[in-house]
Amino acid sequence: MSSDPLVRNVSDTALWAAAYRARENDRPNPLFRDPFARRLAGTRGLRIAETLTASDSWAWVTRTYLFDRFIRERIAQDTDTVVNLAAGLDSRPYRMDLPAALRWIEVDLPDLLAYKEEALAGEKPRCALERIALDLSDAAARRSLFERLGGAGNALVVTEGLLIYLTAEEVAMLAGDLTRPAAFRHWVLDLVSPGLLRMLQKKTKGELDAAGAPLKFGPAEGPGFFQAYGWRPVEVASIIQSAAKLKQLSFGMRLIAMLPQSDGPQGSRPWGGVCLLEREQRPPR
């Protein structure tokens, strides 16, 4: 029997996310189509998804759906560049209906991008796609990259599934760095409350901790956390309420979704959402 751990490192969480997209793609009436997801997830990704959170597929696919919606809406308005940080195995440049002139930049670790390049060899993206191998934890390197990317255009920054693996201090530093380039106008991200963070930490059974990828970030302030660093929330979509509207929930979960919710601090209450932020004109703190 192999002693290889289920989740070997933080990059394996990208396989995990792809596995949920693959399952959704196989449904008769999926929320979105991703014909590349199963290839990207591989056997390991499917096994991770089955072992760790098999019953929570509605949350994963609703999150993907909401990111798709925010991205599509921003592009329909004035976004001409998407900067996807810790892009993982995201296949939106291939699966979404995007303008050919749209500039889409994926940033992630070299090994993960190499795996993705190989898996998608021969496939043609629907927009102008660029991949940049970079460790985003290297603050100097990412600031240099942001300076290079932020000189022109109207950019939307995407961080899907990234922030929960960072400390509050690391998120604050990233948020501050993202306010500096003039082109970085909007930012779409996912967020959990302290209550949901604790639940997720228990559900992952120590697998993520052992892989050096513990779940860390669930701010008590909710989306308001980012205002101190130059980002104003303009739209917040609750994942469970969105899932209820999309008819993704069991009867019991639908009852929970009916409870009143706010866009502000959630405290010990389990809450997760996808948030669209806008860069404020004043300089960050």
Query: What is the domain partition of the chain in residue ranges?
Result: 55-279
Q: What's the pLDDT score for residue 114?
A: 97
Q: What integer is the mean pLDDT of 207-215?
A: 82
Amino acid at 172: A
Q: What integer is the mean pLDDT of 27-50?
A: 92
In contact, 160 and 190? CB cutoff 8 Å: yes
Q: What's the pLDDT score for residue 251?
A: 66
Q: What integer is the mean pLDDT of 147-163?
A: 93
Residue 24 pLDDT > 50, yes or no? yes
Q: What's the pLDDT score for residue 63?
A: 97
Residue 69 pLDDT > 60, yes or no? yes
Question: So what's the architecture of 55-279 in CATH?
Answer: 3-Layer(aba) Sandwich (3.40)
Q: What's the pLDDT score for residue 1?
A: 40
Structural tokens at position 244: 């209820």
Residue 205 pLDDT > 70, yes or no? no
Confidence of residue 284 (pLDDT cuts 50, 70, 90): very low
Structural tokens at position 90: 């995201």
